[in-house]
Amino acid sequence: MKHAALFTPIDMGRITLKNRIVLPPLTRQRSAQPGDIATDLMATYYRQRAGAGFMVSEGTQIEPRGQGYAWTPGIYSQAQIDGWRKVTEAVHAEGGVIFAQLWHVGRVSHNALQPDGQAPVAPSAIQAQKVKAFIQTGPGVGELVQPSLPRALELAEIRDLVGQYAQAARNAIDAGFDGVEIHSANGYLVNQFISAHSNQRDDAYGGSLENRLRFLREIVDAVAAAVGADRLGVRFTPLFTGTDQDRVYIGLVEEDPHTTYIEAIKVLEAAGVAYVSIAEADWDNAPDLPESFRRDVRANFSGKILYAGRYTAERGERLIEAGLADLIAFGRPFIANPDLPERIANGWPLNPLDPATVYGGAEKGLTDYPTYSD
């Protein structure tokens, strides 16, 4: 077997994973309309990839205001819970493990996606720049648009949102998920509270780093109380380079990302969560995270550490062997190769990804990629 370090079983919370290879959350925009409901086709997609040590679902909005892209699924209605149950049953029938990613985009949305055409919600009324929302313009068609100007959340609304995260976690467990991941990355709502660029509040949720981490802390504690910290992970995007303060699917660049995210990871350690997921910059020629940061993550967190970001099997194995990572996620390769773990283990060549079929559509680009044996 090639890359043996990727195929060592590992305990994560209450679950033993059969390998260290992870399918990360990947937006696919194929939920049933109306209602943003997971489908039989989505169940097939995840079932095909159940050879991963574990999978995290595509971002799944916790409430209607949490949507920033047409056709993404939710986890707040009974129909959505029932739809996701088809997915989890299909995955479990193959011996797989799957977590639900709990998602709220905050200001990265548009009036057309919001209930009654209202403004999106955010920590502060600061419009997102250099990112796009995606709205439907007709049956099965849509366009990227500039996010609308958000309004700042009231204190009572923030407390209500914490409760909605906890309820979404309960809904996910009811739907059969093995656990949940809080999406605190990529410039979305929780990341917006953490970042001084998007959070200019002067109350208990703004100003100091401790205050800007309060929303994260309250959500983590509420979700842990609802479903168990050993069934909980959190995803961050700590960027250490770049001048853009907003990058679609990337995140927000802090003045001191090392301190910001080590303090955020201390929040997770205090709660005893099962894992932290670090999504690295994944554009061409992006620099690696500093090794000093990786070592501080390990020093301050006793749960499992997952890295994602254009990893090869070789690079991921080196990080595991160095003791800096426990799990490695493969995004684009897993889209195009449903049998990715087998291909890695045997050194088989990979299918190329078709970028034109990543978002939206039907089975083409979702469930029609062949396995190596095919």
CB atoms within 10 A of CB 208: 10
Helices 78-93, 40-48: axis angle to 10 degrees equals: 30
Q: Is there a catalytic annotation at residue 307?
A: no
What's the sign of the alpha-carbon dihedral 82, 96, 302, 235?
Answer: negative
Which of the following is catalytic: 165, 188, 261, 359? 188
| Beta-sheet strands, E only, within the chain | 10-12, 15-17, 21-23, 54-61, 98-103, 121-122, 133-138, 141-145, 151-152, 179-183, 232-236, 275-279, 304-308, 327-329
Query: How far is 215 from 190, CA to CA, in rounded Å?
Result: 7
- Give how far Cα 335 sits from Cα of 25, 187, 190, 234, 339, Å: 11, 23, 27, 22, 10
The residue written with tokens 């620099």 in the block is 287
Are β-strands 151-152 and 141-145 bridged in parallel, bridged antiparallel, or unpaired? unpaired
- Contact (Cβ atoms closer than 8 angstroms) between residue 49 and residue 22: no
Give the bridge partners for 152, in sequence order. 122
Which active-site residues does the annotation give?
188
